[in-house]
Structure 1
Amino acid sequence: MFENSENKNITIYGETVKPGEDKWIKIPIDRLPTGTMIDIPIYVFNAGKPGPTLLVQGGLHGDEINGVEIIRRMLFEGCYKIKSGAVIVLPLLNIFGFIHFSRQVPDGKDVNRSFPGVKNGSLAARIAYQVTYEVLPQVDFGIDLHTGGGQRNNHPQIRYTSGMPESKTLAEVFNAPFYFATSLISKSFRKAAHNRKIPIIVYEGGESMRFDEYAIREGIQGILNVMKYAGMIHTIDPMWIEREGSTLLTSHKWLRSPTAGMFVPQVLNGSSMKKGAILGFVTDTFATYCKEIKAPYNGFVFCINNQAVVNQGDALFHVGK
């Protein structure tokens, strides 16, 4: 995948990082109502030896904090001190959502539905514009870090782009517990990268506004696996133990609530399931009914909704085989 990689300067927002240099770059986006300027912080680690350029991005959705912690921890531990190539790190893209405990920016728009962006558009469009035109031109491949939305907890998993072999290879190398192909969403970051023929894998682990140590450690392990595969590092700290292999899911579906009530799961996230097994149930507060949620086939549960009170049609389990 990286045969033609060359040593190069990386230029973002008018600042150049030469081979052998590390630099912290800030892209100004907007001000808070108090007048405080908000910048997108970008770390660039450009090794002296030639190699590919990796993008590691967190906080595209402001309330998905596990990715932010994955990147912070790797920065603190010096994990991006690479031997070859370059790593561009966006620890927290949607700062406005982060400080408002929100998936979106303050006007309600989703940055991940705003690509490729507009230079003088809405706040979400302007953030997307800077990533599309300042960051993506420098990148050969990338890892986008996410969690489940709301109170849906995603067991660590990688999503890759259908029909893009490079993306699938990266998913296999990352070696999360599960990986599967998903279609591209209009105006998403991954679609914008795909239009530039840049393979992006999406890591999902945990749920919004809640640290999940297992998901954080799996995310760090996966990023290190990819960096080693790309020749950026030679060894991985032995505390990160490699598993035998990731499980490819060739089909998946959501199991939804048949009625409103209280949802009580009966299985652990990430566990296997047998067709017909009871995964959980939805009941009312007066014990007048109890609707069982059963496994549709032999497979795995890789997302569970932690919301205790649900409405009819709410997604309860994401399952695959």
Structure 2
Amino acid sequence: MASDKFVLLGTEIKKGKSAVLELEVAKLHTRNSLKVPVIVERGNEDGPVLLLLGGVHGDESNGVAIVRDIIRKKYHKPKKGTVICIPILNVFGYLNLTRAFPDGRDLNRMFPGSKRGSLASQFAYTFTKEIAPYVDYVLDFHTGGADRSNYPNIRCNFDKEEEFELASAFGAPYMMHSKYIHKSIRETVHKMGKTIILFEGGKSLHLDDDVINIGVNGALNVMKYLKMQEGEVEIKQEPVYIRKSKWLRAPYSGIFESMVENGARVVKKQLIGRISDPFGEFEKKIYAPSDCSIFGLNTAPNVNKGDAIFHVSVK
């Protein structure tokens, strides 16, 4: 989106300049307005517009911390193009340490939104109209929900070359093929002709330094790949590519113990977990169904029959 003039939320940001803008979420019954800070940095030269987005779900703290650290390290100041940082999109959820909006809806299932819909839908509409049209690329940072921890992975549509190349440049340990979820930010942005990839790492309401560092370095790699920052893309290891995956579910209720680390590569019939009762009379072992990678793990001490416990790759 190379142009001499760049205007966002009614404010022009000139080359080499920055701005802290505000995206209004809602007018509260206390007459106060709740607003989302939008931090914009424009380089001295023309180039693409990159959006770094955290906190779509209010309890996904790692994503917020990743965008924070990008700002703190000043990686968001590009040599070329423009970087837009929104560390916390779902301010309501973040303040309340919850995933959803106050109306109980998942913001990431409300896009492109409606001007007269629910509160979450109206805010999704505002984002779709006021932010999304002005960007070229989006990095959307997430974590696992509830007691599920995701090993750091980047998700994209493998069949879309530009997404695949951008995700490859990110440099996460795992790359996962992911279809567009109906009414998600990712589906909406894709339909607008933009390129968006999604990072998953860690679990909700938990800060993980390793996950945060991978997210920060991945974002910097993307900026180098897009020539927004100087330097070469640095890939520490060849990623594991996952075209298909599934969750293994608990065959019994009881105390759950994983016998392998999240991110492990296991072989068929390898012991990976066990479920037992609190009274020492019952214990069932869980074995890997095939040679596979484990990149999602249930961290709850107790599980019910049918709960998802291991996210594994499928050949």
User: Structure 1-normalised TM-score?
Assistant: 0.94
For residue 300 of structure 2, what is the aligned residue in structure 1? 307
Cα distance in 1 for partners of 2:234, 2:109 equals 36
Q: Please report how far the alpha carbon of residue 318 of structure 1 lies from its aligned counterpart in structure 2 after TM superposition.
A: 0.5
Cα distance in 2 for partners of 1:57, 1:294 equals 38
Q: Which of 72, 87, 90 is the aligned partner of 2:86?
A: 90
For 1:95-134, list aligned pairs within 5 A.
95-134=91-130
Cα distance in 1 for partners of 2:42, 2:127 equals 18
Residue 295 (str. 1) matches residue 291 (str. 2): no
Say whether the 8 Å CA contact 1:7–1:48 is kept in structure 2.
Answer: no
For residue 64 of structure 2, what is the aligned residue in structure 1? 68
For residue 80 of structure 1, what is the aligned residue in structure 2? 76
Q: For structure 2, which runs of at least 5 residues remain unmatched after alignment?
A: none
Q: Please report how far the alpha carbon of residue 32 of structure 1 lies from its aligned counterpart in structure 2 after TM superposition.
A: 4.5
Q: Which of 167, 174, 181 is the aligned partner of 2:177?
A: 181
Cα distance in 1 for partners of 2:11, 2:296 equals 41
For 1:1-321, list aligned pairs within 5 A.
6-235=2-231, 242-320=235-313
Moved over 3 A (4+): 31-36
Say whether the 8 Å CA contact 1:7–1:19 is kept in structure 2.
Answer: no
Q: Please report how far the alpha carbon of residue 8 of structure 1 lies from its aligned counterpart in structure 2 after TM superposition.
A: 4.1
Cα distance in 1 for partners of 2:114, 2:13 equals 26
Q: Look up the equivalent residue of 1:71 and give its one-letter code.
A: V
User: 1:288 is paired with a residue of what secondary structure?
Assistant: coil
User: 2:143 is paired with a residue of what secondary structure?
Assistant: strand
User: 1:216 is paired with a residue of what secondary structure?
Assistant: helix
Q: Look up the equivalent residue of 1:164 and give its one-letter code.
A: K
Q: For structure 1, which runs of at least 5 residues remain unmatched after alignment?
A: none
Deviations 1:223-270 (A, max 9, x none): 00000000011137xxx9741321111221111001111111110111
Say whether the 8 Å CA contact 2:52–2:85 is kept in structure 1.
Answer: yes
The alignment yields a C-alpha RMSD, in angstroms, of: 1.6
Cα distance in 2 for partners of 1:241, 1:226 equals 10
Cα distance in 2 for partners of 1:47, 1:53 equals 10
Q: Please report how far the alpha carbon of residue 271 of structure 1 lies from its aligned counterpart in structure 2 after TM superposition.
A: 1.2
Cα distance in 2 for partners of 1:250, 1:242 equals 20
Say whether the 8 Å CA contact 1:154–1:206 is kept in structure 2.
Answer: yes
Say whether the 8 Å CA contact 2:276–2:284 is kept in structure 1.
Answer: yes
Say whether the 8 Å CA contact 1:142–1:201 is kept in structure 2.
Answer: yes
Q: Please report how far the alpha carbon of residue 73 of structure 1 lies from its aligned counterpart in structure 2 after TM superposition.
A: 1.4
User: 2:131 is paired with a residue of what secondary structure?
Assistant: helix
Cα distance in 1 for partners of 2:213, 2:288 equals 29
Say whether the 8 Å CA contact 2:77–2:83 is kept in structure 1.
Answer: no
User: Structure 2-normalised TM-score?
Assistant: 0.95
Say whether the 8 Å CA contact 2:70–2:76 is kept in structure 1.
Answer: yes
Q: Look up the equivalent residue of 1:308 and give its one-letter code.
A: P
Identity %: 38
Q: Please report how far the alpha carbon of residue 36 of structure 1 lies from its aligned counterpart in structure 2 after TM superposition.
A: 3.5
Cα distance in 2 for partners of 1:218, 1:36 equals 37
Cα distance in 2 for partners of 1:32, 1:151 equals 32
Paired residues in the alignment total 314
